[in-house]
Structure 1
Amino acid sequence: MDKTLHLAIFGFAFVVGIGPAMSQSADEPTRDLLASQIRDQGFTCDKPKGAEREVKESKPNETVWILTCENDTYRMTVIPDMAAKVEKLKK
């Protein structure tokens, strides 16, 4: 998928409120989109296991997620129309 289209779809999901309102069973698209974005930015995320939104850390237009992958865990700050801020967390 074209990176620009991918980011547009990802941003649209959050603008319309799909991301924060997802149930556990619908979490897979969020987890997979975050994993794809992190890989596009040069990080490794083999087999994403989960994505949890950090409500207290998030701000308007800055959604913070903890992305758990098979190999690592990351804190991602997703900002519309920008690359995510990524911090690798210690296991």
Structure 2
Amino acid sequence: MHRILASLSLAFVALLCGPQARAQQVAAETPQQMLSAQIRMQGFICEKPLGATRDKKRSRPDRAVWVLKCSNATYRISRAPDMAAKVEQLP
């Protein structure tokens, strides 16, 4: 409940204060929060994001690859600009 109220408060402040406040709000998000939100929008379940690390071996300049650990599963996520993420559940 507190998280919902905090999110609503941040959204309200962003609306009142304009683009600068929204940019600060986005900058405060961690990679694990952004990645978990993205895969949830694509239909995957990430109950609680625990951490995200970039896979430097698999990443390329035009495609970032991350490993996202959630409380219920671990995912490898490949992200390219202007495309849906490729999500693979790891054992």
How do 1:1-91 and structure 2 match up within 5 A? Answer: 29-90=30-91
CA distance in 1, matches of 2:30, 2:53: 12
Q: Percent identity?
A: 51
* Alignment partners' CA distance in 2, 1:76 and 1:36: 12
Distance 1:57 1:35 in 2: 19
Residue in structure 2 matched with residue 23 of structure 1 by the alignment: none
Shift of 1:39: 0.2
Question: Which is helix-richer, 1 or 2?
Answer: 2
* Separation of aligned partners in 1, 2:57 and 2:90: 18
Taking structure 1 as the reference length, the TM-score comes to: 0.68
Amino acid at match of 1:58: S
Q: Does 1 or 2 have the higher relative contact order (CA < 8 Å, sep 6+)?
A: 1
Q: TM-score, normalised by structure 2?
A: 0.68
Residue 33 of structure 1, CA deviation: 0.3
Q: Which entry has the higher C-alpha Rg, 1 or 2?
A: 2
Could you list the structure 1 runs, at least 4 aligned residues long, displaced by more than 3 angstroms after superposition.
none
How many residues matched? 68
CA distance in 1, matches of 2:31, 2:46: 14
1:2-56 Cα deviation digits (max 9, x unpaired): xxxxxxx8xxx9xxxx8xxxxxxx8x61100000000000000011000000011
Cα RMSD for the two superposed structures: 2.3
